[in-house]
Chains A and B, each alone.
Chain A
Amino acid sequence: MAEPRRFLALVLPRLATDRLARRDPALSRRPCATWQAVGSARRLAAVNAVAERAGLSPGLPLADALAALPALVALPADRGADAAALRALAAWASGFTPLAAPAPPDGVILDITGCAHLFGGEPGLLAAAAGRLRRAGFTVRAALADTAAGALALARGSAEDRIVPPGQQAEAVSRLPLTTLRLPPEAAELCARLGLDTVGALDSLARGPAARRLGPATLALLDEAMGRSTRPISPLRPAPPLRAVLDCPEPLLTAEAIATALSRLLASLCRDLAERDLGARRLGLACHRTDATLQRLGIGTAEASRDPDHLARLLVPKIARIDPGFGIERLVLAAESVEPLAARQRGLPATGGEAAARREALARLIDRLRNRLGQGAVFRLDPFPAHWPEASLRSADPASPPRRGPWPERPRPLRLLPCPRRLPARAPLPDGPPETIGQEPVTRAEGPERILPAWWLPPAGQAARDYWRVETASGRRLWVFATGEGATRAWFLHGRFG
C-alpha cells in the first residue's frame, strides 16, 4: 500500500496588508487596511495587526474606520495582485516539495509526502517553511495533516502551528469553527441560519438531506477535511512542460493500440499548444515498458505545427520501430522544441489566402517525405561561392528563405554529374577542344572556360579545368573538361545540356 499522504498548509490571513508592507516597510508600524466596494458601500477587506489592535476588522465601512482611526492608511484591495503573490509563494514553496499549489484566497498547500525527513521530520519542515515566511514579513499559520482541506482548515482555525498525527484528523477538525472550511457562500449562509457553528455539527447531520440542501460540493469538502477522502493537489510548476502522459491500465502490445493511445496524447498536447499559441518543431515519444525500460522515437517538422492529424501522420509510421516487449504501460509525448504559432493553424482551412495554404501544404509534404526518406533527402539547391561547379551548390532546407543568387552567368548544363566521369575523348591540340568522344565526332565546341582550383584549400596541387560546351554529330550537347598537362591530360564529362 502506498505511503499515506501528508499535507502542509500555510495560511496567510493578512496576505493583502503583508504584501503591501513588504513593498513599504513603514506600513507595518502604522494601521493599514485595504478596502473594496460592496454594493454602494466601501468596506474594509483586510486589516493589519496594528489596525486590528485599534479595533478595526474586515467588513467595517471605510467611513466608520476612518472616523475611528484617522491615521489609518486605506488602500484599494487588489485581488489580482493578491492571487499573483499567492502563486509566487507556491512557486517558492516548490523548494520544499515539487508538489506545491496555491490555495486561494489565502493559503498555499504543499504535498510533503516523503519530503519531511529532508528537513528533520515534520516539525522541522513546518518550522522551516513557516519560519522563512515569517522572517519575510508574512503572518503565517501552519498546519500539517492528512488531507489538503483538513490542513487548511486547521491552519485557519488554530492560533498556533499544529501537527496532527496521521489518523487523528477527524477529531481535531470537528472542533474547528465551520468558517474555517471556506464553504461556498450559499452553503455557509445556510449553515449559519441552521445554527451549525462547528465542523463537527455539520458532520453530525444526516448525509442525504444535508447533500440535498447544501450541495454535494460542501459534503465533498467536509469529507476531505475530516480525512475520509483525499484529492491530489494540482501542483504549480514554474514552467509547465508541454507534454501529455497516458498511463495504460492494460499494457499495450500492438501497433494499433499504440496508435490509438498516440492520437489521444496528440489531441491533448495540441490543445495545450493552442492555449499557449505555440507549435511543435520536435516531438518525442517515450514508451515506458513494463520491464522498466524505455523506448523512444522522435519527429521533426519543417514548420511549427499543432495539427494533430498532421503530427499523427508523421509519428504513426514510426510506431513499427517500437519494440513493446512485454507491454507498454506509460506513454509520454513531449514537445521538445516549440515555436510561436499564430492561431490560424489547427487543421482548419488557412485564412491567410492561397499562398499561405500552399506554404503550409508544402511544409507538410516536406515533413512527410523527410520522415520516410531521411532529413537530407529533401532539399533545395542554393548557390555557394566555390570554384568547382560540383562544390558551388549547397543543399538547403526548403522551408528556409531562399538565396536567389548569384548564379554563374556563364552557360551551365541542365544536369550536373555529382562526380565528373572520365571520357574516352581525343584532342589534336594541347589546348584545343576534343575532336572525338568515343567513336563520335565532335561537330561544335565552345570554350574554353578555365576554372581554377581554390588553391588555398586542400588538397594542394589540383590542376585547373578547361571546360568546353560541345555538340556531337548526333546532336548531344555535353559539358566536358580537360585537366592536366601533356601526357596526363584527361577528359571528363561533367554535365548535359538540353
Chain B
Amino acid sequence: MPATPHATDDRRTVLDRLRARLARLETPPARPALSPLPLAPAIDRALPWRGLCRGALHEIVAADEGAGVAFACLIAARAGPAVAWIATRPDPCPAGLRAWGIDPAGLLVVRARPEDLLWAAEECFRNKALDAVLLFAPALSLTTSRRLHLAAEESGCTGLILQQDIEGRAPSAARSRWRVSPLPGAAGPAHLMPAPRWRLELLRARGGDPAAWTVQWDEARRALLVEGRADG
C-alpha cells in the first residue's frame, strides 16, 4: 500500500525523534568545556587543542627521568593544585617540586604494589577531587589506557603517564605522546647551573602532527621558552 503523505510525515518525525535520542545516548552529557592547558604559545599552536587537553591521558616518554618528570610536573601544576603522584616507589622531593609550580600541600603521594598500580590509578582518575595525576607505570595495554582515559574524561582529571623509553610501543588511547630529552644548558660559567634545557618531541597527537622543539625553563617566570623548532 503506498504511503500517504501524512504517513511519510509521521515516519519522518519518528525517525527524527529516534535519531535525536540516539545522539543523546551516544554523546556524553554536556559539561562545561575544559580549557586546554597552555604550554608555550609556539607549542600550543601546533597542538590540535591549542594547548594540552584536560580530562585525557598524555604519555611522556622520559629519556631522562628528571626531565620527563619535570615536564609532567609543570603540566600538572597548570592543571590545578590537587595532584597525585602514583608509583611503586614514589620519590618526589616537595622542596624541588615547588620550583615547577607544584604546592607540596596539595600533593597526594600513593605507593602501590605493581599489581595494584593500575587500580589505584583508575581510582584517582575517576575522582573529581584531583586536577592531575602523575602515574609512573610500565607500558599500558590499549584496553587499560582506554579504561583510564574514559575515567579521566569523566572526571576532567589530566593524566600524565611517565614511561620508560622503549622501542615498538603498543597503540594507546592517550591523546598525545611526548619525549623529553635533556640538553646541555646554555653557555655560561662552569661553576653555575644553567636553566634546564630540553628537546621536547611531540611523538604523536590525536588530530595533530608530530613536531619537536628546543625549550628552556625560566624558573623565575615559571614559563617554558621555545628556542626554536627542532624537527629533524
Contacts and interface: CB of A to CB of B under 8 A. Distances in A.
A414 B64 CA distance: 13
Interface of B is mostly: mixed
A414 B93 contact: yes
Given A359-B129, A378-B109, A471-B193, A408 B91 contact: no
A141 B211 CA distance: 97
Interface in B93-140: 93-100, 104-105, 107-113, 116, 119-120, 123-124, 127-130
A471 to B, nearest CB: 6
A475 interface: yes
A404 interface: yes
A383 B120 contact: no
A492 to B, nearest CB: 15
Contacts of A445: 190-191
Contacts of B191: 444-446
Nearest to A474: B182
Given A383-B94, A412-B93, A412-B95, A498 B66 contact: yes
B197 interface: yes
Contacts of A383: 94-95, 104
B194 A444 contact: yes
A205 interface: no
B178 interface: no
Contacts of B119: 372
A418 B217 CA distance: 26
Interface centre among A364, A412, A416, A498 (most CB of B within 10 A): A498
A362 interface: yes
Interface in B52-77: 64-67, 69-71, 73
Interface of B: 64-67, 69-71, 73, 82, 89, 91-100, 104-105, 107-113, 116, 119-120, 123-124, 127-130, 181-185, 188, 190-194, 196-198, 217
Contacts of A362: 82, 108, 127, 129-130
Interface of A is mostly: mixed
A473 B184 contact: yes
Nearest to A381: B94
Interface in A356-391: 357-359, 361-362, 364-366, 368-369, 372-373, 376-383, 389
Interface centre among A359, A416, A417 (most CB of B within 10 A): A416
Given A361-B129, A444-B192, A498 B73 contact: yes
A251 interface: no
A404 to B, nearest CB: 6
A380 B130 contact: no
Interface string A35-73: 000000000000000000000000000000000000000
A496 B64 CA distance: 9
Interface in A410-424: 411-418
A474 B63 CA distance: 11
Interface of A: 357-359, 361-362, 364-366, 368-369, 372-373, 376-383, 389, 393, 395, 398, 402-404, 407-408, 411-418, 443-446, 469, 471, 473-478, 495-498
Given A359-B129, A444-B192, A446-B193, A418 B91 contact: yes
A498 B92 CA distance: 12
A469 B196 CA distance: 12
Given A364-B127, A444-B194, A496-B64, 11 more contacts: A358-B82, A362-B82, A412-B95, A413-B66, A413-B96, A414-B99, A415-B92, A415-B96, A416-B93, A476-B66, A497-B66
Q: Which 6 A-B pairs have the closest CB atoms?
A: A498-B70, A475-B182, A402-B105, A496-B66, A412-B95, A362-B129
B91 A416 contact: yes
Interface centre among B95, B113, B196 (most CB of A within 10 A): B95
A473 B197 CA distance: 13
A415 B100 CA distance: 12
B97 A414 contact: yes
Contacts of A496: 64-66, 69
Nearest to B91: A415
B93 A415 contact: yes
Contacts of A364: 127
A119 B41 CA distance: 90
B96 A414 contact: yes
Contacts of B185: 444, 471, 475
Contacts of B69: 414-415, 496, 498
Contacts of B184: 443, 471, 473-475
B24 to A, nearest CB: 23
A381 B109 contact: yes
A398 B69 CA distance: 22
Nearest to A417: B91
Nearest to A413: B96
Contact of B182 (A372, A393, A417, A477): A477
B109 A407 contact: no
B210 to A, nearest CB: 22
Contacts of A408: 95
A361 B182 CA distance: 37
A372 B181 CA distance: 36
